[in-house]
Structure 1
């Protein structure tokens, strides 16, 4: 005869009776009335067409059939517990991984402090990287990028502002050579530049299109090193205007240079955006980060 078993909750009651040896003891463990436990065991036996327990005055004694089913019932119990644990983990806030250039933290430290104070259960993992990480592959949840376009159309995009660049130098350089007033005034000046295989080279190309090779005194793979060279008076260089505000030693020659303007984007992977803590962070962060530019 075909079994009609389909009530998974009866497995929990079966295990309790098997382990406790009586419906009364099982009812205490389960927090269910004893008559209900006995009725569910009867229903399980009817559904499986098996006698699972021998009843006597001493309690419920498992039959051979019950002992054969017991290991499988334990597997169902373990799988149910694992399911519940995984479901719970999916509802709990997880660490938000944010990738951005290394200089990003200088601009947003106060914002993260404010957010963490209001949301102490949400943690962050900063992934400083000049390389463009692949959000769709889970390399990070959120990226802050300055870009002309977003090649991955699946990403959720929030344009923060338009990022702008200007030509900067130092007081030491100004005392020695003065500053050019426009891109038509580069003759006789020295320049430092930034080149990296993982970063579009539009800044470098803009400069090299306007000066001779011997005017480029040094090319750097690190933005911080390039800015250090500008501070020391080695040469003039292109710097993001917002970032330059955090370096009092940098002095603008002229700018912003419209041809170098790019969209400043907050990008979020769709999988990450389904998480409540990521939505909460983006809603908080995006307008406040944009506002920091309005205050500049």
Structure 2
């Protein structure tokens, strides 16, 4: 008897998660049921698919051979669901996006709000974690990253560039001497990442500031930003977070800035799923639109004289205005 899709779905979850409990959580079923489904599949195929140990479930050779066939079935089911749901241009069903917490906190909310307003039957889940997502384990349908992945059957699309700028609350800046150069950072409390918890080399910028460890730290850029907003010190912040925030002001403009990129990362097989591809198009367009608005807002802030601690360089003004 051919294995059922229900059993193959459970098999893939265990293969990706490495345990019955984690697989059960991802499928919203209890671990005992996961174990029974695996046992039923193994009995039907006449082969052990996993090696069980106190450390979890590891694939046997037979299990390794089954994975690509189970993934083909997964894609076929996704395409079938896509065909049934795909009526006109309206999107429906659930889409899960993994994103760094700064992007998820300050940029994606507006983008997602616009998408679901246009597609009210769509369920969008934004998973904000300060780490890299593993799409091969299907932790999300797609992910936004700050660097290009080196391994995996993935497709990568550059979305947009952004900048990391030094910033502080206006209340903090009102009580300290002007900050015009990197040398002026001495004596100021810096807020940044916990060094041993930096998950991507693109976020490792402390050496540029001549700092080994920040005095206030978090693995979350959103938490760092809120610390600075509360007047705790200086922070390296996303330009799109600063845009329109009248409580904060950039400092060291023209003397310190880091250019970074957001990438959309998808599993290669998902290119055949029209619903996901269409959502990806809307996501990319929305992020680019929001970044354009953020740059315009930052330019207006600088032009009105709201920025503290020095003026923009001509080069940066021209580059910002053309993006």
Report the TM range for the smaller structure's normalisation.
Answer: 0.5 to 0.7
CA distance in 2, matches of 1:236, 1:98: 30
Residues 5-44 of structure 1 mapped to structure 2, 5 A cutoff: none
Q: CA RMSD in A?
A: 3.0
What residue number does 1:239 align with? 237
Aligned to 1:289, the other structure's residue is in SS state helix
The worse-fitting range, judged by mean Cα deviation, of 136-145 and 182-191 is 182-191
Measured in 2, the distance between the counterparts of 1:224 and 1:87 equals 37
* Structure 1 pair 88–174 and aligned structure 2 pair: CA distance change class (3 A): closer
The partner residue of 2:219 within 221, 240, 243 is 221
Q: Any gaps of 5 or more consecutive residues in structure 2?
A: 1-75, 86-92, 295-323
> In the aligned structure 2, how far is the partner of 1:256 from the partner of 1:99?
32
Is contact 2:168-2:235 (8 Å) kept? yes
2:154/2:265 contact within 8 Å kept: yes
Q: Structure 2: how far apart are the matches of 1:101 and 1:158?
A: 16
Cα distance in 1 for partners of 2:275, 2:269 equals: 12
Tell me how far 1:223 sits from its aligned partner.
2.1
Q: CA deviation at 1:188?
A: 2.9
- Aligned to 1:242, the other structure's residue is in SS state helix
Distance 1:85 1:226 in 2: 42
Shift of 1:191: 1.2
CA displacement at 1:212 relative to structure 2: 5.4
- Structure 2 counterpart of 1:254: 252
How high is the TM-score relative to the length of structure 2? Answer: 0.56
SS in 1 for 2:107: helix
Deviation at 1:192, TM superposition (A): 1.6
Could you list the per-position Cα deviations for residues 81-134 of structure 1 after superposition, in whole angstroms to 9, with x for gaps in the alignment? xxx999854634542111113342542334323322333333222222112111
Aligned counterpart for 1:91 among listed residues 54, 66, 83: 83
SS of the residue 1:159 aligns to: strand
In structure 1, stretches of 5+ residues that fail to align are 1-83
Larger CA Rg, structure 1 vs 2 = 1
Measure, in 1, the Cα distance between the counterparts of 2:255 and 2:151: 27
- Over residues 236-277 of structure 1, what are the superposed CA-to-partner deviations in whole Å (9 max), with x where a residue is unaligned? 110111122264322100236777322211111123332111
- Name segments (4+ residues, structure 1) moved above 6 Å: 84-87, 256-259
Contact 1:165–1:238 (Cα < 8 Å) also in 2: yes
After the TM superposition, which residues 50-199 of structure 1 pair with which residues of structure 2 at under 5 Å, given as runs? 88-89=80-81, 91-93=83-85, 94-103=93-102, 104-147=104-147, 149-152=148-151, 154-195=153-194, 197=197, 199=199
Distance 1:274 1:192 in 2: 44
Distance of 1:113 and 1:218 partners within structure 2: 33
Calculate the TM-score normalised by the size of structure 1: 0.61
SS at match of 2:291: helix
Match of 1:39 in 2: none
